[in-house]
Amino acid sequence: MATRIFIDGAAGTTGIEIRERLAGRADFELLLLDDAQRKSEAARKEALHAADVAILCLPDDAAKEAVALAEGSGTRFIDASSAHRVADGWTYGFPELIGHAAVAGAERVSNPGCYPTGFLALVAPLVRAGLLPASWPYTVNAVSGYSGGGKALIERFEAETDIAFRAYGLAMGHKHLPEMQRHAGLAHAPVFSPGVVPGFRGMLVDVPLPLAAMGAQADIAVLHLALADFFAGSPVVKVHPLEDAPSELLLHTGATPWDGLELFAFASADGAQVRLVARLDNLGKGASGAAIQNLNIMCGLPETEGLTL
């Protein structure tokens, strides 16, 4: 029997991309609410109870409300919002970091945020291996396509077509900081400088490491090898060869949906400074692709089914 999936928030940016990735899959039956019903509490409650798995593509408050509406149902969750990423009782849905078995057996999975997906892939394995200090005040410089801000930001960027770059998060309290700190095991939240570029999708997450000043014992070769070993065999995460480092990293305005995650390492000539950089699609491994990967794992299916890699 097909697994019944309810996407709460199916008309939003992430929800639409999840529907697209599920299209034509016989192993899933989609429960859909029409435009008149999709915000009705009663209709959502009924669908949440009828589903085997509910995928929440909602603002945080509505995601919390959905969990409350489903109480007593036994429905499993994948939450794309940031409501439950450091919450008790929720499994952080980053299988490469926390293990596939943990996701497979979870009832409540919280999808990582798009920026934390890049940051954690670069930093968590190295801190865990003792190659980078947990006590260092890390910085993260990142740019995202404007779809990262959902319907509201898409509307704004498509109306204000003269925006060349948008720096934000200037009050330093971005909602992704707790999950970056928690899941990398850091003593301090990173200093995070996000920006938005006038392209629809795509993201670069750049972590500068002044290795010499940090007192890190590892050099670029050791860090790169540790990342390559950690993600070896992953069909989703690719560590770019050190000897073939590109001289620039681009995002393209015409980019099509992509569910992979690329990791790069760069060093200054004397090795004193390193930049670890992740490139991903904020709507792919940063949101909808990750949700499908988690859904596959939770349902005992090949993890890359329906993904574009």
Ligand X SMILES: CC(=O)N[C@@H](CCC(=O)OP(=O)(O)O)C(=O)O
Tokens read off for 210: 């002044």
State how far the Cα of 75 lies from the Cα of 83, in Å rounded to an integer: 18
Whether residue 299 lies in the annotated active site: no
**Contact call for residue 181 and ligand NDP (CB under 6 A):** no
**Contact call for residue 286 and ligand NDP (CB under 6 A):** yes
Q: Which residues pair with 264 in a beta bridge?
A: 277
62 interface partner picked from ligand X, ligand NDP, none, CB below 5 to 8 A per type: ligand NDP
Ranked by CB distance to ligand NDP, the top (closest) residue is: 12
Phi, psi for 15 (deg, rounded to 5): -60, -45
281, 258 contact by CB (below 8 A): yes
Binding mask 44-83 for ligand NDP (x = CB under 6 A): -------------xxxx-x-----------------xxx-
Q: What is the DSSP string of 273-307?
A: -EEEEEEE-TTIIIIIHHHHHHHHHHTTS-TTTT-
27, 3 contact by CB (below 8 A): yes
Nearer to ligand X, 82 or 288 (CB): 82
**Contact call for residue 93 and ligand NDP (CB under 6 A):** no
Tokens read off for 285: 């491994």
58 interface partner picked from ligand NDP, ligand X, none, CB below 5 to 8 A per type: ligand NDP
Q: Angle of helix 289-298 relative to helix 13-22, nearest 10 degrees?
A: 50
81, 56 contact by CB (below 8 A): yes
Given 5, 67, 114, 205, which residue is catalytic? 114
**Contact call for residue 87 and ligand NDP (CB under 6 A):** no
Q: Which of the stretches 147-155, 156-164, 249-257, 301-309 binds ligand NDP when contact is defined by CB under 6 A?
A: 147-155
- Interface residues with ligand X (CB under 6 A)? 81-82, 113-114, 144, 148-149, 153, 175-176, 194, 196, 286
Q: Which residues bind ligand NDP (CB under 6 A)?
A: 8-9, 11-15, 38-39, 57-60, 62, 80-82, 113-114, 147-148, 150-151, 282-283, 286-287
